[in-house]
Amino acid sequence: MTTETNTAETKPAESINPCKRELTIEIPSDVVNGERDKIVNRYAKLARIPGFRKGKVPATVVRQRFADEIKSDLVESLVPRYFREESKKQNLLPISQPRVTDLHLHDGEPLKFTAEFEILPDFKVAAYDDIKPETIDASVSEEDVERALNNLRLQHATYNAVEDDRGLADGDFAVVSFRGVPKDTEQDADSKPVEVDEVMVEIGGENTIPEFCENLRGAKAAEHRSFDVKYADDFADKRLAGKTMTYEVDIKAIKTRSTPEPNDEFAKELSPELTTYDDLRNRLRENMKAEKEHEAEHQGRDKIVEELVKRNDFPVPEAMVDQQIDLRLERGLRALAAQGMKTEDMKRMDFDRLRAGQRDGALREVKASLILEQIADQEKIEVSDEELEQELAGVAQQAKQPVEQVRARLTEDGGLDRIRHRIRNDKALSHLYRRSA
């Protein structure tokens, strides 16, 4: 490798971005000429030009015929190499690909260029020993357990059709189809009708709209009812909020609900591991307690991150924020695809607006990651090979691929280091949470 000295000038460019740096580098002309000769010789050996035998094309012809290609190869060969050398010499660790500007390349002259890039922010993490998130009650009351047991029985309820010719009464379930349109059709000309082919309506149910109960009570199977429903301005469904709808309802059938008895047989039907209803009660209590504790920890960890970000004010590299926005959007699109959204519908989305909407969250996540990395250093937290292998096994299982195949792919694209980094930060956050508990 050539060892001739190149010159460089460093600029912090702090007025634009405190994490941004510029290196103006000059590569000596003899280095440039030597590299150009190597490239020309390579082209001369491979070039096929009419009138010349392969490998016998004169250098002057090669330089003229492949001028643009030679210039491109010369830049690709020298610019990254000398950028890396100069960055290392000045103890700068770029975290983004450099943007090369002001490229000056002429025969017999030094190659000059300016490289713009970002580095990690230089900050000292603020004190965190006193951070203690609010304690959340994770206890489970008997009322909570009874409510869960009742919901479980309702989930396994059966519905039987009423055979006698009687009208709907409280506690019955009406199997209906309906169509609703805005009563004021002039004001709501653009509103689409609300249509449902079949749904069960519990007469007198606490979640049933009162007007449906009032107007369906007493109706028999095969009857038709028409009535208005005025929705409150703050109604949960924004399509209906503040509107008065006229409904045309057809009663298809009347059913009654039969819930399982709260006994040992019901418990055994749910799981062979359960022998008594008390076993079911205890299992539910344990699951609910574990769920509450998990939620409490989740909220506590979020509060710690929120406080860490609040206490530490430092600039964040735009490249890291953009990368995090990409990750958040990728997760969101995967979720939409899993829910059935088609690719062509995704392509019509306003990605500029979506990116802007993800920026605050991405910025918070990047700042939290940089803070936790420093805390992990201070607390001497590391990731063992066993922990990494366990995470890889989970990734492989989710991707339905062999672990070795996943490891090879992640090693190639740098994903293995990202996983290790994520595990380490998560351990640092868990350390803070346990210490504050």
Q: Is the pLDDT of residue 24 over 90?
A: yes
- Work out the pLDDT band at 3, boundaries 50, 70, 90: very low
The gap from C-alpha 411 to its chain's centroid, in whole angstroms, comes to 22
pLDDT confidence of 48, banded at 50, 70, 90?
confident
Residues of the chain with CATH 3.10.50.40: 158-258
Instruction: Give the type of residue at 235.
Output: F
Amino acid 339: pLDDT: 86
Instruction: List the single range of 48-52, 172-176, 246-250 with lowest mean pLDDT.
Output: 48-52
Provide CATH 1.10.3120.10 ranges for the chain. Answer: 278-436
CA distances (Å), origin 211, targets 166, 170, 192, 217, 252: 20, 13, 21, 10, 19
158-258 placed in CATH 3.10.50.40: yes
Label residue 283 by pLDDT band (50, 70, 90). Answer: very high
Identify which of 43, 38, 74 has the alpha carbon closest to the alpha carbon of residue 57.
43
pLDDT tens-digit series, residues 294-320: 999 999 999 999 999 999 999 999 999
Confidence band, pLDDT 50/70/90 cuts, at residue 9: low
Mean pLDDT over 280-293 rounds to 96
* Tokens encoding 316: 């964040």
Task: Please tell me whether residue 174 adopts helix, strand or coil conformation.
Answer: strand
For residue 201, pLDDT beyond 90? yes
CA atoms within 13 A on the CB side of 136: 17
Least confident of 11-20, 135-144, 365-374, 428-437: 11-20
Amino acid 185: pLDDT: 66
Q: How far is CA 3 from CA 205, 217, 435, in A?
A: 84, 93, 53
Has residue 187 got a pLDDT over 60? Answer: no
Residue type, 48: R
Instruction: State yes or no: pLDDT of 4 exceeds 90.
Output: no
Mean pLDDT, the chain, whole residue set: 90
pLDDT at 190: 63
Dump pLDDT digits (tens) for 391-414: 999 989 988 899 899 888 888 888
Which tokens hold the place of 333? 């699109």
Note whether 436 and 304 are within 8 A (CB). yes
Query: What is the pLDDT averaged over residues 133-138?
Result: 85
Residue matched to tokens 């009660």: 281
pLDDT at 135 over 70: yes
Higher pLDDT, 14 or 366: 366
What is residue 27's three-state secondary structure?
Answer: strand
Query: In this predicted model, which residue has the larger pLDDT, 53 or 336?
Result: 336
Q: Which CATH architecture has domain 278-436?
A: Orthogonal Bundle (1.10)
Residue 336 sits at the vertex; the CA angle it makes with 333 and 342, to the nearest 5 degrees, is 95
Separation of alpha carbons 210 and 227, rounded Å: 12
Nearest to 317 by CA among 176, 168, 122: 122
pLDDT range class, residue 15, cuts 50, 70, 90: very low
- Axis crossing angle, helix 318-338 with helix 351-378, rounded to the nearest 10: 120
> The domain 7-118 belongs to what CATH superfamily?
Trigger factor ribosome-binding domain (3.30.70.1050)
AA identity, residue 432:
L
Q: Where in the chain is the domain with CATH 3.30.70.1050?
A: 7-118
Q: Give me the mean pLDDT over the 336-361 stretch.
A: 88
Determine the average pLDDT of the residues in 94-115: 92
- pLDDT greater than 60 at residue 49: yes
pLDDT at residue 433 in the model:
92
Contact criterion met (CB below 8 Å) for 429 and 437: no
Quote the CA–CA distance of 247 and 177 in Å, as a whole number. 10
**What predicted TM-score, i.e. pTM, was given to this entire model?**
0.73
Residue 14 — pLDDT band, cuts 50, 70, 90? very low
Residue 47: band (very low, low, confident or very high) from pLDDT cuts 50, 70, 90: confident
- Residues comprising the chain, all counted: 437
CA-based nearest residue to 325, from 287, 357, 277:
357
pLDDT tens sequence across 357-404: 999 999 999 999 999 999 999 999 999 999 999 999 998 998 889 989
Residues 368/309, Cβ–Cβ less than 8 Å: yes
E strand or H helix that includes residue 201: strand 194-202
pLDDT given for residue 346 in this prediction: 85
Q: Between 415-436 and 385-399, two packed helices, what is the crossing angle to 10 degrees?
A: 110
Average pLDDT of the residues in 416-432: 94
